[in-house]
Structure 1
Amino acid sequence: MSTATARYAGNLRSEAQHTASGTTIVTDAPLDNHGRGEAFSPTDLVSAALGTCMMTIMGIVAERHQLDLTGVRFTVNKHMAAEPRRIAQIDVHFHMPATLTEKERTLLENAARTCPVALSLNPEIRQEVQFAYGELVS
């Protein structure tokens, strides 16, 4: 069984469907590469996948240790290289609860940095990951 199927919708837009759930994702070429920038670009999805993978792995570890990560969030920023056009760097900034102990913080940060997406990306793509601890805003 396939993971996903996709079709080109024209005008530099694609529609991908997750086989198991039927969930659809639309991608659009970015403004700086002939697109309209009206949806995630494929490289935006790679960047978001890194952050969500890290958050998922932290969630698995948190459940194992009875830690509540509800409200944790991240921002992600990608930096593109021109020649050849590719992702050069992905910055992920996590906002974490202040109540975590030093041991719990180390455990979660290590889990994040060893998520499958982080380990699958080309080593030439720099991953800058930061964790800020404080009050979480809903």
Structure 2
Amino acid sequence: MSTSLTLSCPACLATNRVAQERLGGRPNCGRCGEALFQGKPVALDQAGFDRMLANTELPLVVDFWAEWCGPCKMMAPVFERTAASLEPQARFIKVDTEAAPALAQRYAIRSIPTLILFKGGREVARQSGALDQRSLESWISSAL
């Protein structure tokens, strides 16, 4: 008997149930047909973030950033490469703090970029400041 996980689709946010052994096999959304893992971070607003957090059993690695932030721009390609290499072990999300200030306030984001790792809907690790890929992967691995 296989164990299944619930995942929110990055395209339509529908909740999907996927057998764990199928996670690496490029499963598609049952509603819209899009790939559940696209090898890149998912940009979400507050409503999308709340839905993803509530309906995804995978760990979520969230990058709180802003367009005007130099270190955020330096971190963006590192975050993308890490998402491509670590999915489907975790879901990678980007939240623009300028577009979602209430979300930034809820999680007490004081500096950007700030990365938060969520498991089971709860924050389990936090890291502020830009990281290189090796450091980011190490931080994620230690928190998982």
What is the TM-score normalised by the length of structure 2? Answer: 0.28
Q: Greater Rg, structure 1 or structure 2?
A: 1
- Greater strand fraction, Structure 1 or Structure 2: 1
